[in-house]
């Protein structure tokens, strides 16, 4: 393999990885808030993409279009949260809520298929297909812009988690919701905020997937599976691990696609997931190397 | 018309076997597997290869289907002994996806996306082909149902339910969770292999398309709707899942009949959520000890 091709695949894989990392972060935020896997995010991605297509074709102002899109994404995600909370109050455990989320996913995707049909739609804007060459490596404007936006959002999330009280409250809810409630954490508010952030991330992910491939009712299903694999491989309970794992998955995805064919991409990602679950179920990025502490003299 | 009705019933029997296979894990050990259709696919391919390539008699094809499926189930169990709950769901999903990719790509054995055609249909006692398929299907369902019910009523079933209800307490009284998991997964896989055998000979062609993740989620939905812990629950779920879309064909609305498979997915996705909330035992599921003591 030529060095040039290697670098090109690495660059493409990095951008693919940022997309997968974004999905994994959205899932991680929701998992921190309510300990469930928000699998229905796959149908919300498709819903947002179809609405964006409708907004473009109606020639509404872009700003108004984004506001509308944000509202739709927020309503869809909060509706899913309402269903999970209702099931939780009915005594359904975490695994049952994941199953219900799968139910929402297939119902949502099938409803979109009934409304919009199965024809592939294109969201590609000509200006996004422009490219620049740096050091012999080709970068598309669309990839650069979308990756920049995703990274900016993740930077904002990092700042919020690092410097605000939200992080502590979110972690307390994840580790023990009952104790967190006793300590005064407003759990419903935390969950709404987490899903609200997830909603904004979903918009960017939806536009990114739609501009890279095509828009159809099941467009969110396969990226969702990669996002789940990335989240679990990185380790549940860590946003940073989910993102890093997503980037790694993206790079592996593109390399496997080039070397072994696209049909082996899913098998490779899920093979890695199976190996990680066997060897390090807490996640590969959750592993820490503990250096032995120096023995301290007793203070006699 | 009779051929159509008989064929629909045969499909219901295949689905019922898949639901029983899923429910063996979900009803007793409280583990949900998304690999059930893929393991059935292994059985279907084994049966098809035995018939088309080697011309073996049906009983040997059935044994080969069950054996191949049990082997894959053993691999899944060996991988899954270290994980539980949600992670088991993910491992099974991973295995299902890998198996379907193998079906699609290993053309030397499975003939790729085209599949293996020309699987001989059942023909017994001078009955027509569809009626023979129905008779064999009913026989297999009755045998599997009696076997699964007998195992559930035995000490093996009690161990599985103990592990499903409270793993820590069951381990403390001496039940080995790993060994019981392997037994349960292998039994579930054997039943799935039987469903695959039936599918191969009823449909006549085995290709990767019916064994993917969408089918796994649908089986999950039907098993939840029908009810867990009882064979009758699985049969009820399969009946609802197959007969309701077929009834939609006769509704005098052109668009409805054309989109019946999509409408089925919408209905079952919604039913899955509603049943989990309002009726977690499903239509004919087994009540838990707590529910029985309260009532």
The more confidently predicted of residues B109 and A300 is B109
Give the span between the Cα atoms of B295 and B277, in whole angstroms. Answer: 19
> Which of B81, B99, B277 to probe the A interface (max A CBs under 10 A)?
B277
Q: Do A105 and B280 touch (CB under 8 A)?
A: no
The predicted-structure confidence for A221-280, as pLDDT tens digits, reads as follows 888 889 988 988 888 878 888 999 999 999 999 999 988 888 888 888 888 888 888 787
Residues 6+ apart with CB under 8 A from B12: B238, B239, B242, B243
Determine contact, residues B21/B148, Cβ cutoff 8 Å.
Answer: no
Rounded to the nearest 10 degrees, the angle between the axes of helix B86-105 and helix B213-226 is 140
The predicted-structure confidence for A37-78, as pLDDT tens digits, reads as follows 898 999 999 999 888 888 888 877 878 888 888 999 999 999
Q: By the CB < 8 Å criterion, does A295 face chain B?
A: no
Within 8 A of A36 by CB-CB distance, chain B residues are none
The more confidently predicted of residues B256 and B9 is B9
Residue B150 pLDDT: 94
> Which of B90, B104, B278 to probe the A interface (max A CBs under 10 A)?
B90
Q: By the CB < 8 Å criterion, does B160 face chain A?
A: no
CA distance B197 to chain A (A): 25
Cα separations in angstroms, A11 against A239, A249, B192: 23, 13, 43
Cα dihedral angle (A250, A154, A240, A220), rounded to 10 degrees?
-40
Residue B258 pLDDT: 63
Q: Give the confidence band of B254 by pLDDT, cuts at 50, 70, 90.
A: low
Q: By the CB < 8 Å criterion, does B270 face chain A?
A: yes
Mean pLDDT of chain A: 83
Q: Give the confidence band of B190 by pLDDT, cuts at 50, 70, 90.
A: very high
Residue A148 pLDDT: 85
Q: Give the confidence band of B21 by pLDDT, cuts at 50, 70, 90.
A: very high
* Structure token pair of residue B162: 């103990």
Determine contact, residues A97/A88, Cβ cutoff 8 Å.
Answer: yes
Q: What ipTM was reported for this prediction? A: 0.79
Residue B66 pLDDT: 96
Q: Give the confidence band of A171 by pLDDT, cuts at 50, 70, 90.
A: confident
Q: Do B277 and A281 touch (CB under 8 A)?
A: no
CA distance B122 to chain A (A): 35
CA distance B128 to chain A (A): 37
State which CATH number among 3.80.10, 2.30.230, 1.10.3470, 1.10.1740 fits the domain covering A3-279: 1.10.3470
* Domain ranges for chain B: 2-212
Within 8 A of B87 by CB-CB distance, chain A residues are 232, 277, 281
Q: Is a pLDDT exceeding 60 seen at residue B265?
A: yes
Mean pLDDT of chain B: 86
Residues 6+ apart with CB under 8 A from A51: A68, A69, A72
The predicted-structure confidence for A189-203, as pLDDT tens digits, reads as follows 989 989 998 998 898
Cα separations in angstroms, B42 against A91, A130, B99, B210, B285: 37, 46, 8, 12, 29
> Which residue in chain B has the smallest CA separation from A274?
B91
The more confidently predicted of residues B77 and B267 is B77
pTM here is: 0.83
Q: Do A266 and B102 touch (CB under 8 A)?
A: no
Q: By the CB < 8 Å criterion, does B165 face chain A?
A: no
> Which of A36, A89, A90, A110 to probe the B interface (max B CBs under 10 A)?
A110
Q: Is a pLDDT exceeding 50 seen at residue B294?
A: no
Q: Do A106 and B265 touch (CB under 8 A)?
A: yes
Locate tokens 């009758």: which residue?
B232
What phi and psi values does residue B117 have, to the nearest 5 degrees? -100, 170
The predicted-structure confidence for A109-156, as pLDDT tens digits, reads as follows 888 888 887 777 766 666 666 777 877 778 877 788 888 888 888 888
* Domain ranges for chain A: 3-279
Q: Do A106 and B268 touch (CB under 8 A)?
A: yes
Q: Do A109 and B82 touch (CB under 8 A)?
A: no
CA distance B273 to chain A (A): 5
Determine contact, residues B191/B17, Cβ cutoff 8 Å.
Answer: yes
Q: Do A92 and B276 touch (CB under 8 A)?
A: yes
Residue B44 pLDDT: 95
Q: By the CB < 8 Å criterion, does A39 face chain B?
A: no
* Helix spans in A164-286 (H): 166-175, 177-182, 187-212, 221-234, 239-259, 265-279
Q: Secondary structure of B74-143 in the HEC alphabet?
A: HHHHHHHCCCCCHHHHHHHHHHHHHHHHHHHHCHHHHCHHHCEECCCCCCCCCCCHHHHHHHHHHHHHHH
The predicted-structure confidence for B123-154, as pLDDT tens digits, reads as follows 777 776 777 888 899 999 999 999 999 999 99
Closest CA relative to residue B206, chosen from B36, B17, B37, B76: B37
Q: Do B266 and A96 touch (CB under 8 A)?
A: no
Q: Do B273 and A100 touch (CB under 8 A)?
A: yes
> Which of B273, B275, B279 to probe the A interface (max A CBs under 10 A)?
B273
What phi and psi values does residue A269 have, to the nearest 5 degrees? -65, -45
Residue A128 pLDDT: 62
Average pLDDT over residues A147-166: 80
Residue A291 pLDDT: 44
């Amino acid at each position: 393999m030529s060095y040039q091709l290697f670098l090109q695949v690495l660059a493409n894989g990095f951008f693919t990885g940022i997309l997968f990392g974004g999905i994994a972060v959205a899932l991680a935020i929701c998992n921190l808030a309510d300990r469930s896997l928000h699998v229905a995010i796959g149908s919300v991605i498709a819903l947002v993409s179809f609405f964006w297509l409708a907004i473009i074709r109606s020639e509404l102002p872009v700003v108004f279009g984004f506001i509308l899109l944000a509202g739709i994404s927020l309503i869809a995600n909060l509706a899913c949260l309402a269903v999970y909370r209702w099931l939780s109050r009915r005594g359904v455990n975490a695994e049952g809520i994941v199953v219900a989320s799968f139910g929402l996913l297939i119902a949502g995707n099938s409803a979109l298929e009934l409304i919009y049909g199965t024809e592939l739609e294109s969201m590609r804007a000509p200006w996004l297909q422009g490219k620049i060459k740096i050091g012999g490596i080709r970068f598309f404007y669309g990839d650069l812009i979308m990756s920049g936006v995703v990274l900016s959002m993740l930077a904002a999330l990092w700042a919020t988690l690092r410097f605000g009280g939200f992080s502590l409250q979110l972690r307390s809810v994840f580790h023990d919701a009952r104790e967190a409630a006793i300590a005064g954490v407003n759990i419903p508010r935390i969950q709404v905020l987490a899903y609200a952030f997830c909603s904004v991330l979903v918009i960017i992910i939806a536009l990114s997937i739609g501009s890279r491939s095509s828009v159809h009712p099941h467009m969110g299903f396969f990226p969702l599976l990669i996002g789940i694999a990335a989240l679990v491989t990185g380790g549940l309970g860590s946003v940073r691990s989910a993102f890093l794992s997503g980037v790694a998955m993206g790079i592996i995805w593109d390399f496997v696609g080039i070397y072994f064919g696209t049909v082996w991409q899913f098998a490779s990602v899920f093979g890695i997931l199976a190996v990680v679950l066997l060897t390090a179920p807490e996640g590969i990025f959750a592993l820490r190397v503990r250096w032995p502490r120096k023995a301290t003299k007793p203070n006699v | 018309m009779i051929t159509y009705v008989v064929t629909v019933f045969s499909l219901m029997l295949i689905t019922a076997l898949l639901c029983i296979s899923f429910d063996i894990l979900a009803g007793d050990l409280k583990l949900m597997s998304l690999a059930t259709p893929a393991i059935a696919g292994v059985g279907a391919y084994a049966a098809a290869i035995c018939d088309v390539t080697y011309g073996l008699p049906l009983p040997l094809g059935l044994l080969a289907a069950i054996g191949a499926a049990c082997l894959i189930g053993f691999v899944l169990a060996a991988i899954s002994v270290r994980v539980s709950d949600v992670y088991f769901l993910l491992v099974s999903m991973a295995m299902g996806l890998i198996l379907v990719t193998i079906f699609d790509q290993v053309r030397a054995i499975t003939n790729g996306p085209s599949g293996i055609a020309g699987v001989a249909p059942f023909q017994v006692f001078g009955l027509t082909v569809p009626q023979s398929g129905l008779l064999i299907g009913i026989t297999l369902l009755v045998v599997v149902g009696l076997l699964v019910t007998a195992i559930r009523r035995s000490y093996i079933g009690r161990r599985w339910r103990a592990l499903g209800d409270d793993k820590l307490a069951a381990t403390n009284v001496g039940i080995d969770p790993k060994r019981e998991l392997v037994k349960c997964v292998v039994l579930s896989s054997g039943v799935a292999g039987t469903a695959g055998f039936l599918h191969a000979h009823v449909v006549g062609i085995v290709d990767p398309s019916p064994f993917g993740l969408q089918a796994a989620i649908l089986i999950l939905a039907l098993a939840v709707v029908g009810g867990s812990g009882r064979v009758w629950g699985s049969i009820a779920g399969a009946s609802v899942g197959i007969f309701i879309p077929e009834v939609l064909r006769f509704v005098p609305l052109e668009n409805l009949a054309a989109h019946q498979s999509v409408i089925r997915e919408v209905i079952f996705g919604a039913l899955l959520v509603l049943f989990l909330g309002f009726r977690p035992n499903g239509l004919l599921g087994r009540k838990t000890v707590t529910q029985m003591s309260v009532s």
